[in-house]
Structure 1
Amino acid sequence: MKTPWRKLEGSGKWTKEYAEKLLDDIQKRCDKEKDIPNIRILLLGSVRAGNSSFLNTVASIDIGRIAQITIAGGADDSVTFALKEYCPKDKLKNFQILDTMGVEDTNQGGLNLKDVLYLVKGHIPPNYKFNPATPIDEKAKNSGQSQRIERKFIALFL
């Protein structure tokens, strides 16, 4: 990128202090939102879009060292087969991030698009194993309809 997409405060340089200030600002903002105890972010995108890599990056920021909490990258097909839920414990403790199987342009692979609506509404439990050929069945979907607001998604990234 030839020009930054945002201006940095102060000296205009990315420093450890600036990163800590951003994390502190995020945490303060989250603490003010009493109605939403956890901001749930659903990562949904095509195969090789970087969703699982993003999840590993968030875990690394939260833990303060390089972390690999999920397999990421390198394959032509999705390497995520089940709904992976990550709940940070430290710097990003007010967030829950969920990683899904990648969306593919074929009926034989990737996330079944019929499952996406159930995901967004919070009706698919963590560790649910996706089946590209068959969407979630009605019995499994109905068992999740009593989920509270904490299971619904606040943000969706493609």
Structure 2
Amino acid sequence: SFTFYSDTDTNLNDDDLTLYFLSALRNPWRNICWGNKWKDLQYVKNYQPQTKAVSHVRVLLYGPVGAGKSSFISSVTSVLRGRMANVALVGDSYHGYKTHKIKKEVRGNFYPFVFNDIMGLEEKTGQGVSVEDIKLALKGHVKDGYKFNPVSSLTPEDPGYNSSPSPDDRVHVLVWVCSANTPNVTPAILQKMRDVREAASDMNIPQLVLVTKVDEACAETEKDLKNIYKSKHLKKKVSFSALGVPLNCFFPVKNYSKEISLNDDVDSLILSALRVMIDFGDDFIETM
């Protein structure tokens, strides 16, 4: 576990100070405006794509089984609705490609950003979604509702293949989702991640990393999410140089799971990540 102390605490003995510097950063490695989520919330609610070529930003979430992809979509829905939302997400047991839209308060309208979570990556060949199918999804060739076959990638002859993808069908932001409380990624999955990243980079698709379950990875962060950017453990976790993603593209979040009411600190982290996803996607759309 990790113990955090205030920078202004004058009642620390030598042992306490040693523990503090071993477990926590004196200054957070990222600043976030705690207690003022409304600015980001209003920004997200007011967003509209800058070009008429697309009706929404499409965000593809990918990662290992159980990383929290579906839970993040459900959490975003709860934050935007201002209450816990009972969203029927299918989770890792579903092998299909499904577009998740979020309804606005006005009946019949949806927010101009959508999420696709995809079958989880797994270490063994023939299990989990294939890298080739993710690449096809990036280009918009996978039809909504298509069920992936772990042992056979989608081909142009399959009914689930979209031969003429529109700008709306393409992925505009790629988000790798990983859990903060799991061991390091295995070499086999890491290679698959690199293959997907290289393909996305070739298409100039912006990429982010979402680090979930931060409350389970650090005892003091579980007590107070405001400690999240002072945790050396979490900073080490997100400083994953092997993936080749810069630190400013990592976003630690806590998904809603056991809660029955919203929490401003949880919302702030989710909105911080969501706003960047929207901005990156909007920038990409302008270059299409």
Fold match by TM threshold 0.5: yes
The separation in 1 between residues aligned to 2:97 and 2:171, in whole angstroms, is 14
Q: Does 1:69 align with 2:88?
A: yes
Aligned pair count reads 145
2:31 matched residue in structure 1: 6
Structure 1 stretches of 5 or more lacking a match?
Answer: 73-77
1:101 Cα offset (Å): 0.4
Please give the secondary structure, in 2, of the residue aligned with 1:22. Answer: helix
* Letter of the 1:136 counterpart: L
Deviations along 1:97-154, whole A, 9 cap, x unmatched?
1111001111232101110111000111111111111111221379512121011111
Structure-1 residue corresponding to 2:48:
31
Greater shift in the superposed pair: 123-132 or 78-87? 78-87
Distance of aligned partners of 1:86 and 1:41 in 2 relative to their CA distance in 1, 3 Å threshold: same
**Structure 1 residues 52 and 61, CA gap change in structure 2 (3 angstroms):** same
Which whole-Å CA distance do the structure 1 matches of 2:40 and 2:83 have between them? 17
Selected match of 2:97 from 83, 103, 109: 83
- In terms of Rg, which structure is larger? 2
Instruction: Letter of the 1:127 partner, please give it.
Output: G
Contact 1:62 1:89 in 2 (8 A): no
- 8 Å CA contact 1:118–1:141 kept in 2: the answer is no
TM score, norm. by length of structure 2: 0.46
- Name the counterpart of 1:126: 144
Does the 8 Å contact 1:82/1:129 carry over to 2? yes
User: Greater share of helix residues, 1 or 2?
Assistant: 2
Rounded Cα–Cα distance in structure 2 between residues aligned with 1:4 and 1:146: 44
What is the rounded CA distance, in whole Å, between the counterparts of 2:104 and 2:29 in structure 1? 29
Kept in 2: contact 1:71–1:80 (CA 8 A):
yes
CA distance in 2 between counterparts of 1:140 and 1:38 reads: 26
CA contact 1:45–1:102 (8 Å) conserved in 2:
yes
Q: Distance in 1 between matches of 2:84 and 2:51?
A: 31
TM-score, length-scaled by structure 1: 0.79
Give the Cα separation in 1 of the matches to 2:29 and 2:94: 32
Deviations 1:66-116 (A, max 9, x none): 2332144xxxxx423111211112177011111110011112321011101
Runs (5+) with no aligned partner, structure 2: 3-23, 177-288
Partner of 2:156: 138
Q: Residue in 2 aligned with 1:96?
A: 114
SS at match of 2:63: coil
* Contact 2:97–2:146 (Cα < 8 Å) also in 1: yes
Verify the 8 A CA contact 1:71 1:79 in the aligned structure 2: yes
Distance 1:102 1:52, change over 3 A: same
CA contact (8 A) 1:43 1:100 kept: yes
Residue 61 of structure 1 deviates from its aligned partner by: 2.0
The code of the aligned residue for 1:33 comes to: Q
Return the alpha-carbon distance in structure 2 between the equivalents of residues 125 and 32 of structure 1.
22
